[in-house]
Amino acid sequence: MFPPWTTPEAAAEILKNGGVVAIPTETVYGLAGNAYDPKALAKIFEAKKRPHFDPLIVHISAIEELSNVALEVPEVAKKLAKAYWPGPMTLVLPKKDCIPDLATSGLPTVAVRFPNHPIAQKIIRLAGVPLAAPSANLFQHVSPTTAQHVAEQLGNVIDGIVDGGSCGVGVESTIISFPEDKPVILRPGGITPEMVEAVAGSVTIHESKSNPKGPMLAPGMIDRHYRPQVPLYYGAVPKNAKIPSETVRIAFGSQESVIPPTVNLSASGDLKEAAANLYAFMRQMDKPGVELILVDPIPNEGLGVACNDRLKRAAVRQLPESF
């Protein structure tokens, strides 16, 4: 059957038998496989065309299950988990031997998340194992926020897709590591730096860049990522810039620009609404006949930090000189 729509119950059986299934979460759709099974993990990498130096996030269905995959948990990590789990936050912790090196790109740590989505939680419980689940899209492409997005890219190479509607948060989880037991944000996401600071007292934001000499510290840190096929330019358009006739604009708030808005992430300037719409609008504008996507600047605060992170990785560095 194409696309391979399936129920949570059937998905759990597929996962028990070593298959891979796209499942909904509150952030984006994930391509899930048994986190204990190297063969299932290999299927995830193969389906996504994902390089093995980019580690996976392991998903659990209860805080108590953290001890199944993590060797130790610093006190500050426990406080954050109590405050924001289930939710869009991933903790990077020393891993137990039961987690294969393939899941962690050979690192001694594992990225763990407890998703705030009833269907995801149900599937993990029914499968009886933690699930490794990166975003359910081809590597470096725009992340999926609906089941249809998954079907368009991966429907013919995976074992099932569970449709849970649109994702409420719309950008991936915040990833936090704990060097010397102090929280460091490796990737901004659905839990803002201010929210981490409120619980932990202080937080550092790591300037994430590609590491060509070894594994990435966490998913989503590659310089070029989340990128549509049509060139995307993020930020204020330079004066006298050459803009092709087939240009679309993803606006934010009531800003003025060189062309009228095609769509607006949030006409009222609401960062939560903007984050929820971001990937869906990027996909909507990424279509044949479009020559350039312009995206208005977004304030670098709250959820805007995550939006800025994704858009800077998705964007071309300068406007193309010819179209």
Distance CA 245, CA 71 (A): 56
Q: Is 249 annotated as a binding residue?
A: no
Helix (H, G, I), strand (E, B) or coil at 117: coil
In eight-state DSSP terms, residue 144 is P
Q: Is 59 annotated as a binding residue?
A: yes
Q: Is 27 annotated as a binding residue?
A: yes
Q: Is 50 annotated as a binding residue?
A: yes
Q: Is 125 annotated as a binding residue?
A: no
Q: What is the dihedral of CA 26, 27, 30, 34, to 10 degrees?
A: -70
Q: Is 135 annotated as a binding residue?
A: yes
Q: Is 143 annotated as a binding residue?
A: yes
Q: Are 276 and 307 in contact (CB under 8 A)?
A: no
Neighbours of 64 (CB within 10 A): 9
Distance CA 165, CA 147 (A): 7
Q: Is 105 annotated as a binding residue?
A: no
Which residues participate in the annotated binding site for L-threonine?
A: 27, 113, 133, 173
Which residues define the annotated binding site for ATP? Answer: 50, 59, 109, 135, 143, 187, 226
Annotated binding site: 27, 50, 59, 109, 113, 133, 135, 143, 173, 187, 226
